Chains A and B, each alone.
Chain A
Amino acid sequence: MTYLSAVDTGTAIPIRFVSPLDAPSNIYYGSQAAPSIPVVKAASQFGSFGPKLRNIEIENTFDLLEKRWKRETMNVSSLHDMFLHPAYARIIGLGTAAIPLILRTLAIEPNYWFFALESITGYSPVRKKDAGNLRAMTDAWLRWGKKNGFYDAAKAPQGR
């Protein structure tokens, strides 16, 4: 399955997925030198014009998109296909408002939200040795969320 089929030419050219998802400069990892493109570090960065963390409309949209993404990628093993799913792309499109919602759902039910978080923030707190380890990646992002004001475990439903 690939969601590039809607825009391809119908020819049987193997899709090698080397760009843009794999562009190495897309994401700033903490151990690197400071990035030239600003990254999202903290909720307070947005001041009063920042994400409305309890915006019910965004929450409802997120919930619908999340359900659709989970349902339609349940049997998919390709992370590229998971991340290219239209519902996942729309969640990324919600921008920083989606960060607390993603972290909340991540705390309840770990899933592959890391690419969305990387795409929105331009950052990844995941250590290279933890690549593919769902629990370790989840923990790294929840720690990042708590530290930077995007996620409060005490207020999260069934959070940890």
Chain B
Amino acid sequence: MASTTRPKHLKVGRDVPRAAFPHLRKANHEITSDQAPEYNCIAHAADDNSRFWWPGPGMNGYWPPGVPREVTIEAFIEAYKTIGYETTADETLEVGFDKIAIYVDKGAPTHAAKQLAEGQWSSKLGKNYDISHKRDAVSGGLYGEIAVYMKRKI
């Protein structure tokens, strides 16, 4: 899809299921990319838009070498540690730091978002668009809730 025809907002109920994104509203998000199946949210939060990050099955997804290939919050934290992130309890905007959030549903990681310079968050929705959004706009449905924040020095 050419960027000139890209919609500004997702239509909940048409572009994305309402049950999957119960808090998403026109007022709390904006589409920031074309649709792209080449990368997912886990890669996007790691600033790698060239590969699909996921720990398997087999060799279907990219996963940092040496990190257990399992869908656990511990493995995802380890994956982001390989690029300099450490866990933090502070999700607020801090000058000089990148921050990411890892979402969990039923105990399994589902999604990751990265904080933008102005305090908004950026998410890649599966193979769909990137959006900028308020922190809780994509919580409560498909992706569950934020379980861990991580940060690294810029």
- A contacts, CB < 8 Å to B: 1-2, 5, 12-18, 21-22, 24, 26-27, 29, 73-80, 83, 110-112, 114-115, 118, 124, 126, 128, 131-135, 137
Our count of residue pairs bridging A and B at CB distance below 8 angstroms stands at 122
| Chain B contacts for A15, CB-based, 8 A | 71, 106-108
- Is the beta-carbon distance between A77 and B40 smaller than 8 angstroms? yes
| Chain B contacts for A110, CB-based, 8 A | 37
Checking A14, A75, A132 against B126 with a beta-carbon cut-off of 8 angstroms, the contacting residue is A75
- Is the beta-carbon distance between A115 and B105 smaller than 8 angstroms? no
Q: Known contacts A12-B106, A112-B52: does B126 contact A79 (CB below 8 Å)?
A: no
| Chain B contacts for A124, CB-based, 8 A | 58-59
Residue picked from B20, B61, B111, B142, most chain A C-beta under 10 Å: B61
| Chain A contacts for B96, CB-based, 8 A | none
- Is the beta-carbon distance between B126 and A77 smaller than 8 angstroms? yes
Checking A74, A77, A115 against B41 with a beta-carbon cut-off of 8 angstroms, the contacting residue is A77
State whether the Cβ of B134 lies closer than 8 Å to any Cβ in chain A. no
Checking A77, A114, A126 against B42 with a beta-carbon cut-off of 8 angstroms, the contacting residue is A77
State whether the Cβ of B128 lies closer than 8 Å to any Cβ in chain A. yes
Checking B52, B56, B62, B106 against A21 with a beta-carbon cut-off of 8 angstroms, the contacting residue is B56
Question: What are 24 residue pairs bridging A and B, where the CB atoms are less than 8 Å apart in the complex?
Answer: A1-B20, A14-B108, A15-B106, A18-B70, A22-B57, A24-B58, A26-B58, A77-B54, A77-B110, A77-B124, A78-B54, A79-B56, A80-B56, A111-B127, A112-B60, A115-B57, A128-B59, A131-B59, A132-B43, A132-B51, A132-B53, A133-B51, A134-B37, A135-B38
- Is the beta-carbon distance between B59 and A74 smaller than 8 angstroms? no
State whether the Cβ of B80 lies closer than 8 Å to any Cβ in chain A. no
Q: Known contacts A16-B72, A134-B37: does B58 contact A75 (CB below 8 Å)?
A: no
